[in-house]
Structure 1
Protein backbone atom coordinates (compact mmCIF):
# COMPACT_ATOMS: atom_id res chain seq x y z
CA UNK A 1 0.00 0.00 0.00
CA UNK A 2 1.34 3.44 -0.96
CA UNK A 3 0.88 6.78 0.75
CA UNK A 4 -1.70 7.64 -1.91
CA UNK A 5 -3.75 4.58 -0.98
CA UNK A 6 -3.73 5.67 2.63
CA UNK A 7 -4.85 9.19 1.71
CA UNK A 8 -7.62 7.99 -0.59
CA UNK A 9 -8.80 5.29 1.74
CA UNK A 10 -8.18 2.37 -0.58
CA UNK A 11 -6.21 0.85 -3.45
CA UNK A 12 -5.69 2.76 -6.67
CA UNK A 13 -7.68 2.04 -9.85
CA UNK A 14 -4.60 0.42 -11.40
CA UNK A 15 -4.17 -1.89 -8.43
CA UNK A 16 -7.86 -2.84 -8.52
CA UNK A 17 -7.67 -3.72 -12.20
CA UNK A 18 -4.48 -5.74 -11.76
CA UNK A 19 -6.05 -7.66 -8.89
CA UNK A 20 -8.74 -8.95 -11.26
CA UNK A 21 -11.52 -6.48 -10.44
CA UNK A 22 -12.75 -4.81 -13.63
CA UNK A 23 -14.05 -1.36 -12.74
CA UNK A 24 -15.88 1.33 -14.70
CA UNK A 25 -13.72 3.79 -16.65
CA UNK A 26 -15.90 6.79 -15.67
CA UNK A 27 -13.88 9.16 -13.52
CA UNK A 28 -14.60 8.62 -9.84
CA UNK A 29 -16.66 5.45 -10.35
CA UNK A 30 -15.54 2.31 -8.57
CA UNK A 31 -18.46 0.09 -9.61
CA UNK A 32 -17.85 -3.19 -11.35
CA UNK A 33 -17.87 -3.05 -15.15
CA UNK A 34 -20.52 -4.90 -17.14
CA UNK A 35 -19.79 -3.46 -20.61
CA UNK A 36 -16.83 -2.85 -22.88
CA UNK A 37 -16.97 0.17 -25.16
CA UNK A 38 -14.77 -0.28 -28.21
CA UNK A 39 -13.44 2.88 -29.80
CA UNK A 40 -10.62 4.31 -31.86
CA UNK A 41 -9.38 7.70 -32.94
CA UNK A 42 -9.24 7.61 -36.75
CA UNK A 43 -6.69 10.44 -36.79
CA UNK A 44 -4.08 8.33 -34.97
CA UNK A 45 -5.26 4.67 -35.05
CA UNK A 46 -5.57 2.27 -37.96
CA UNK A 47 -9.23 1.44 -38.84
CA UNK A 48 -9.06 -2.06 -37.32
CA UNK A 49 -7.51 -0.90 -34.01
CA UNK A 50 -9.86 -0.94 -31.03
CA UNK A 51 -9.24 0.62 -27.64
CA UNK A 52 -11.52 -0.43 -24.77
CA UNK A 53 -13.17 1.49 -21.97
CA UNK A 54 -15.07 -0.45 -19.35
CA UNK A 55 -18.48 0.74 -18.14
CA UNK A 56 -20.85 -0.10 -15.34
CA UNK A 57 -24.53 -0.20 -16.31
CA UNK A 58 -25.13 3.27 -14.81
CA UNK A 59 -22.38 4.95 -16.89
CA UNK A 60 -22.65 2.99 -20.13
CA UNK A 61 -24.88 5.54 -21.87
CA UNK A 62 -22.79 8.52 -20.64
CA UNK A 63 -19.53 7.00 -21.90
CA UNK A 64 -21.11 6.00 -25.25
CA UNK A 65 -22.38 9.55 -25.74
CA UNK A 66 -18.97 11.00 -24.82
CA UNK A 67 -17.23 8.84 -27.43
CA UNK A 68 -19.96 9.28 -30.06
CA UNK A 69 -19.88 13.10 -29.86
CA UNK A 70 -16.16 12.94 -30.63
CA UNK A 71 -16.55 10.44 -33.48
CA UNK A 72 -14.64 7.74 -31.60
CA UNK A 73 -17.27 5.15 -30.55
CA UNK A 74 -17.37 1.95 -32.61
CA UNK A 75 -19.25 -0.74 -30.65
CA UNK A 76 -20.50 -1.73 -27.19
CA UNK A 77 -20.31 -5.35 -26.06
CA UNK A 78 -21.08 -7.14 -22.80
CA UNK A 79 -18.02 -7.74 -20.68
CA UNK A 80 -17.47 -11.53 -20.58
CA UNK A 81 -18.11 -12.95 -17.14
CA UNK A 82 -19.67 -9.75 -15.80
CA UNK A 83 -23.12 -9.62 -14.25
CA UNK A 84 -25.47 -7.03 -15.74
CA UNK A 85 -24.18 -7.06 -19.32
CA UNK A 86 -27.17 -8.31 -21.24
CA UNK A 87 -26.85 -8.16 -24.98
CA UNK A 88 -24.72 -5.85 -27.08
CA UNK A 89 -25.50 -2.96 -29.37
Structure 2
Protein backbone atom coordinates (compact mmCIF):
# COMPACT_ATOMS: atom_id res chain seq x y z
CA UNK A 1 0.00 0.00 0.00
CA UNK A 2 1.33 3.43 -0.85
CA UNK A 3 1.21 6.47 1.37
CA UNK A 4 -1.89 7.89 -0.41
CA UNK A 5 -3.97 4.71 -0.27
CA UNK A 6 -6.48 4.25 2.51
CA UNK A 7 -6.86 0.76 3.99
CA UNK A 8 -10.05 -1.08 3.06
CA UNK A 9 -12.67 -0.64 5.75
CA UNK A 10 -15.70 -2.91 5.94
CA UNK A 11 -18.85 -0.77 5.98
CA UNK A 12 -22.43 -1.34 7.06
CA UNK A 13 -24.68 -3.24 4.62
CA UNK A 14 -27.63 -0.86 5.12
CA UNK A 15 -28.51 0.95 1.92
CA UNK A 16 -26.55 4.18 1.61
CA UNK A 17 -24.67 3.77 4.88
CA UNK A 18 -20.92 4.33 4.81
CA UNK A 19 -20.27 3.85 8.53
CA UNK A 20 -17.66 1.25 9.47
CA UNK A 21 -19.16 -2.09 10.47
CA UNK A 22 -19.27 -3.06 14.14
CA UNK A 23 -21.41 -6.21 13.82
CA UNK A 24 -21.75 -9.32 11.66
CA UNK A 25 -25.26 -10.63 11.10
CA UNK A 26 -25.00 -14.30 10.15
CA UNK A 27 -27.94 -15.65 8.20
CA UNK A 28 -29.14 -18.13 5.65
CA UNK A 29 -32.21 -18.69 3.54
CA UNK A 30 -33.24 -22.31 4.19
CA UNK A 31 -34.93 -22.50 0.78
CA UNK A 32 -31.62 -21.74 -0.94
CA UNK A 33 -28.79 -22.67 1.43
CA UNK A 34 -27.72 -25.78 3.30
CA UNK A 35 -28.33 -25.55 7.07
CA UNK A 36 -24.64 -25.01 7.87
CA UNK A 37 -24.12 -22.20 5.32
CA UNK A 38 -23.83 -18.69 6.72
CA UNK A 39 -24.00 -15.50 4.72
CA UNK A 40 -22.91 -12.26 6.38
CA UNK A 41 -24.36 -8.78 6.44
CA UNK A 42 -22.31 -6.13 8.19
CA UNK A 43 -23.96 -3.54 10.43
CA UNK A 44 -23.00 -0.37 12.24
CA UNK A 45 -24.45 0.30 15.70
CA UNK A 46 -27.25 2.43 14.21
CA UNK A 47 -28.47 -0.23 11.74
CA UNK A 48 -27.85 -3.40 13.75
CA UNK A 49 -31.43 -3.63 15.02
CA UNK A 50 -33.21 -2.78 11.76
CA UNK A 51 -31.13 -5.26 9.74
CA UNK A 52 -31.59 -7.92 12.46
CA UNK A 53 -35.35 -7.29 12.46
CA UNK A 54 -35.50 -7.62 8.66
CA UNK A 55 -33.66 -10.96 8.67
CA UNK A 56 -35.43 -12.16 11.80
CA UNK A 57 -38.92 -11.53 10.40
CA UNK A 58 -38.04 -13.90 7.56
CA UNK A 59 -36.52 -16.44 9.98
CA UNK A 60 -33.14 -16.04 8.24
CA UNK A 61 -31.11 -14.59 11.14
CA UNK A 62 -28.91 -17.19 12.86
CA UNK A 63 -26.45 -15.16 14.96
CA UNK A 64 -25.07 -11.67 15.61
CA UNK A 65 -21.46 -11.20 16.62
CA UNK A 66 -18.96 -8.36 16.84
CA UNK A 67 -17.10 -7.59 13.63
CA UNK A 68 -13.41 -8.22 13.96
Normalising by structure 1, report the TM-score: 0.68
Superposition misfits of 4+ residues, deviation over 3 angstroms: none
Q: Going by fraction, where is strand more abundant, 1 or 2?
A: 2
Partner of 2:8: 20
Q: Going by fraction, where is helix more abundant, 1 or 2?
A: 1
Q: Which runs of 5+ in 2 are unaligned?
A: 1-6
Q: Which one has more relative contact order, counting CA pairs under 8 Å at least 6 apart?
A: 2
1:14-39 deviation per Cα after TM superposition (whole angstroms, max 9, x unaligned): xxxxx521000000101010000000
Normalising by structure 2, report the TM-score: 0.88
Aligned residues: 63
Partner of 1:7: none
Partners of 1:20 and 1:50 in 2: how far apart?
Answer: 23
Q: Which runs of 5+ in 1 are unaligned?
A: 1-18, 81-89
